[in-house]
Chains A and B, each alone.
Chain A
């Protein structure tokens, strides 16, 4: 077992809560400290995004270290878009050396969506192969070249999966592949369409994958009707049902944010009832200050302390 708190929580059978902290578009460490302060004590681990949506930000490794120094268990995200296998292995060693114990392996959003659409992408390896790479370095003590890693990295290996992307019929199989590659936990894309998520979980259980990998359901509270609409129409692979937008529309304007929180809390309750869901991953995008309220309302506070 790694030194990861998230791993300890999951292995002890507790329902895990992870949060997310997007690094700033600048070199000011205070921004990440302020964001982090909202989450302190309310999450078991915190994801640190890696130039999400292909917009240049402070590196995920640096922001992870800042959060680590604050007492968090950072979950460093790593995308294959910007690094070849040399840089990837180097960063895996570097992250572990800094005491980062969770690595989330992702392909990464295409650069077309970001602030440098004329950039050349790398994609030397894909997310599946990144999982294999981390596992090989950690468990076999080998680089991809076959040479020995002197001082193995200590990492809990995570991945993401989007149950709402197409083709739907392979989405559970794809998770099975990631588990076989070595992923130990998965955080899903934001869930708004619960029936579809339940259907996916049924397929996941059908393959027995829920026994091989810890599944953390992705939860995002909607701040406004505009945000829900934006996610529905402009974010690739997002499934936001009209009923959710209608529900937000159905309350007075000043109550929309509260309703968004309420929906998120209800969503967490529903996730807790689904067999095979081991926790939730809260993505309160630029709304980190609401995480304590959500975690408390969902009955998931205080967070267990495991040594």
Chain B
């Protein structure tokens, strides 16, 4: 899932300063699962913003609306009958959703209420962590299911670097060293000989290095 964090309240107040009527948009997908931009978070933010503006003596009208998905045209098009009545849209969807809504309604400003951070998993209730950078050239077979590109702060393919200590990354003592995890896995699977293979240079052209990526399935086009 795509994980996002809500932006600081003051930043959001600044965004909506010029407006008196906004649409606060949420999404039922990833940002709901990571408890950032679902119906509940939309309701909380709407109340917070309204209360603050009320206190300032500049009340604001906020309509809460949560789309099933902000990254799919059929849902995004559903906004058409209502979107015209608002000064701006404050979106709690991920960066993809924010952009996509903007592409559909070019006369509207779509403002981000969240910082989109990573593709990750729910490690435990209330804890999300990054797992995939979407490099477009998966090597999880070589590292037995643990991605060094994502889980090593230096994306080192022949790790670990000299900063791995007590299983932790030098960059953050709360972050496991990705290469420690890989070595542990090699041992667990009795495949330490795999460690001795030198991983070749990576082709980053499949990653963002090659520019914005697109996938087309001609057979599915209507």
Contact = CB atoms under 8 A, between A and B. Distances in A.
A70 to B, nearest CB: 30
B180 A181 contact: no
Interface stretch (B48-56, B69-77, B156-164): B156-164
A256 interface: no
A166 B167 contact: yes
Contact of A129 (B157, B161, B177): B157
A148 interface: no
Interface in B75-127: none
Given A165-B162, A236-B165, A123 B156 contact: yes
Interface residues of A, number: 36
Interface in A66-86: 80-81, 85
A180 B196 CA distance: 10
Given A132-B198, A165-B162, A167-B160, A126 B180 contact: no
A237 B170 contact: yes
A45 to B, nearest CB: 21
Contacts of B160: 165-167, 170
Interface in A134-176: 144, 160-162, 165-167, 169-170, 173, 176
Given A165-B160, A166-B165, A236-B170, A110 B154 contact: yes
B198 A166 contact: no
Contact of A237 (B165, B199, B200): B165
A47 B159 CA distance: 23
Contacts of B154: 80-81, 107-108, 110, 121, 123, 126
B155 interface: yes
A126 B157 contact: yes
A59 to B, nearest CB: 21
A273 to B, nearest CB: 25
B151 to A, nearest CB: 13
B19 interface: no
Nearest to A132: B198
B177 A166 contact: yes
A176 B196 contact: yes
Contact of B201 (A85, A121, A169): A85
A160 B162 contact: yes
Contact of B158 (A109, A126, A162): A126
B219 interface: no
Contacts of B158: 126-129, 177
B204 interface: yes
Contacts of B157: 126, 128-129
Interface string A82-111: 000100000000000000000000011110
A162 B204 contact: no
B200 A129 contact: yes
A244 interface: no
A131 to B, nearest CB: 9
A125 interface: yes
A189 interface: yes
Contact of A110 (B153, B198, B199): B153
Interface residues of B, number: 29
Interface string A17-39: 00000000000000000000000
A160 B200 CA distance: 19
A115 interface: no
A177 to B, nearest CB: 6
Contacts of B141: none
B3 interface: no
B167 A144 contact: no
B140 interface: no
A167 B198 contact: no
A109 B195 CA distance: 23
Interface string B164-186: 11110011000001001001100
A165 B204 contact: no
A161 B201 contact: no
A123 B158 CA distance: 12
A173 B170 contact: no
Contacts of A161: 162
Given A110-B171, A173-B195, A176-B196, A126 B165 contact: no
Interface of B: 153-167, 170-171, 177, 180, 183-184, 195-196, 198-202, 204
12 contacts: A121-B154, A128-B157, A128-B158, A128-B198, A128-B199, A132-B201, A133-B201, A161-B162, A162-B163, A165-B165, A166-B164, A237-B162
Given A85-B201, A133-B201, A166-B177, 6 more contacts: A123-B155, A124-B202, A126-B155, A170-B183, A236-B170, A237-B163
Interface of A: 80-81, 85, 107-110, 112-113, 121, 123-129, 132-133, 144, 160-162, 165-167, 169-170, 173, 176-177, 180-181, 189, 236-237
